[in-house]
């Protein structure tokens, strides 16, 4: 697999000029929003007058449901996200659109559910957010042990429970919420439900103050006798109940999102290395001549590692688009990029210590963001454990299998 970023960007510009117009607008306006997003954990209202809201809403939507060709594959989205993250990695995580809800909707939903869901985002009037709600306070990394319940009551289900660390949870107009209809069945009792923000019994309890990536916004949500229609359950509902494993849809969301997080880390790493190099070359540092030379050499070595991280990221995205098992590749990309970001942060702190302890400085913000990269979408330790487990059957001579292909991309880069 060989992926040339420049050629891919040129192809996106030719096939979908709207997406590239959005990137150009972001490059112009986002840098001025970085301080606001980091300080308040939100977007300033004027941003929606400066960016094409209708394009933002459609970025992650499949073309057949009204999405944009420029972001029609996971690979293309990683390229776009890396470019956006050059300004700030936290802002693109919090941008409008269906976000992580896309994989479970595509893999679990019926055709009418898919059409109705994506139609919510086909508007130019206001930003619309979706959110993916599975993480719970007392569950940790074992998502199969979720305690939120969905109890059947006539033609409805009643949800009770709590979710935490939900990206854009406070902004979301619609959420995909995972709950158990039978906790004795473990993962096979888990189902996914569509819940709108105005549903009685649903509440945003608080917005957490984050260490880094603050503009992405993490929320704590609660469901208290939250009544939804049985048709809000994703999947074919018949005499045998839903015909799809809902937890598999959740796992697909992680395979989809982890290359995106890696791309954000790669773009952020490139940006901070460019900034550090510019400081040295412009003489804006107290380093000795020898130390400046050594630092520049190490920056080039770190750039080579960023290139390696990009290869891992693009490989994971490509595998997802091809319908191959992407979990291990996605974990590799996410774990390596987050670890690299932390290595770069530690290195720059040693070279620019006064900058790094000054609140609001780019080095200080990058250090916080780098630490957050290792935590979100599965900690680095968890990713490395998953990678080790994935290679155990390969060591025994077993071969990998393909996963069911979601009708998402159309196959081309």
392: left (phi over 0), alpha (psi -120 to 50) or beta: alpha
User: Residue 398's pLDDT is what?
Assistant: 57
Question: DSSP class of residue 55?
Answer: H
Tell me the pTM: 0.88
In the predicted model, is pLDDT for residue 31 greater than 70? yes
The residues that bridge with 160 in the sheet, in sequence order, are 149
Region 383-409: mean pLDDT is 66
In the predicted model, is pLDDT for residue 114 greater than 90? yes
Q: What are phi and psi of 343, to 5 degrees?
A: -60, -45
Q: How many CB atoms lie within 10 A of CB 289?
A: 7
| Of 71-80, 167-176, 234-243, 278-287, minimum mean pLDDT range | 234-243
Asked if 128 contacts 173 with a C-beta cutoff of 8 angstroms, the reply is: yes
| Of 8-17, 167-176, 324-333, 364-373, minimum mean pLDDT range | 8-17
In the predicted model, is pLDDT for residue 402 greater than 60? no
Number of alpha helices (DSSP H) and beta strands (DSSP E) in the chain? 15, 7
DSSP 140-197: TT-GGG---EEEEETTEEEEEEEEEEEETTTT-SEEEEEEES-GGGGGGGEEEEEEET
In the predicted model, is pLDDT for residue 412 greater than 50? no
Q: How many CB atoms lie within 10 A of CB 312?
A: 22
In the predicted model, is pLDDT for residue 148 greater than 50? yes
User: Residue 356's pLDDT is what?
Assistant: 86
User: Residue 319's pLDDT is what?
Assistant: 93
- Compute the distance between CA of residue 275 and CA of residue 287 in angstroms, rounded to an integer: 15
User: Residue 413's pLDDT is what?
Assistant: 47
In the predicted model, is pLDDT for residue 47 greater than 80? yes
In the predicted model, is pLDDT for residue 403 greater than 70? no
Our CA dihedral for 29, 96, 247, 327, rounded to 10 degrees, sits at: -20
Asked if 37 contacts 214 with a C-beta cutoff of 8 angstroms, the reply is: yes
Structure tokens at 362: 């780019």
> What length is written for the chain?
413
User: Residue 396's pLDDT is what?
Assistant: 57
pLDDT above 70 as % of the chain? 90
pLDDT above 90 as % of the chain? 56
């Amino acid at each position: 697999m060989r992926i040339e970023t420049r050629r891919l960007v040129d192809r996106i510009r030719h096939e979908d000029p709207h997406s590239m117009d959005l990137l150009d607008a972001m490059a112009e306006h986002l840098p001025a929003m970085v301080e606001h997003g980091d300080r308040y954990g939100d977007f300033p209202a004027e941003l929606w007058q400066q960016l094409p809201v209708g394009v933002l809403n459609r970025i992650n939507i499949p073309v057949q449901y009204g999405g944009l060709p420029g972001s029609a594959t996971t690979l293309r989205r990683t390229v776009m996200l890396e470019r956006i993250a050059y300004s700030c990695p936290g802002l693109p995580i919090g941008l409008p659109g269906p976000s992580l809800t896309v994989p479970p909707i595509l893999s679990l939903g019926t055709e009418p559910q898919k059409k109705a869901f994506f139609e919510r985002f086909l508007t130019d009037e206001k930003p619309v957010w979706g959110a993916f709600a599975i993480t719970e306070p007392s569950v940790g990394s074992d998502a199969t042990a979720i305690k939120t319940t969905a109890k059947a009551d006539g033609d409805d289900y009643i949800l009770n429970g709590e979710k935490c660390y939900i990206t854009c949870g406070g902004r979301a107009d619609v959420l995909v919420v995972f709950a158990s209809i039978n906790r004795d069945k473990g993962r096979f009792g888990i189902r996914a439900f569509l819940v709108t923000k105005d549903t009685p019994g649903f509440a945003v309890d608080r917005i957490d103050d984050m260490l880094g990536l603050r503009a992405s916004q993490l929320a704590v949500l609660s469901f208290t006798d939250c009544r939804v229609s049985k048709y809000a359950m994703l999947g074919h509902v018949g005499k045998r109940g839903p015909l799809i494993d809902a937890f598999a849809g959740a796992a697909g969301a992680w395979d989809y999102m982890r290359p995106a997080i890696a791309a954000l880390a790669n773009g952020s790493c490139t940006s901070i290395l460019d900034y550090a190099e510019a400081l040295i070359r412009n003489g804006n540092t107290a380093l000795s001549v020898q130390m400046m030379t050594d630092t520049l050499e190490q920056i080039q070595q770190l750039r080579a590692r960023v290139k390696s991280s990009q290869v891992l990221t693009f490989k994971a995205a490509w595998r997802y688009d091809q319908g191959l098992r992407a979990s291990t590749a996605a974990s590799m990309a996410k774990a390596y990029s987050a670890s690299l970001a932390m290595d770069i942060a530690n290195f720059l702190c040693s070279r620019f210590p006064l900058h790094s302890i000054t609140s609001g400085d780019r080095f200080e913000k990058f250090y916080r963001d780098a630490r957050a990269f290792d935590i979100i979408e599965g900690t680095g330790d968890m990713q490395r454990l998953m990678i080790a487990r994935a290679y155990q059957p390969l060591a025994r001579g077993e071969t990998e299998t393909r996963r069911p292909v979601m009708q998402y991309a159309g196959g081309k880069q």
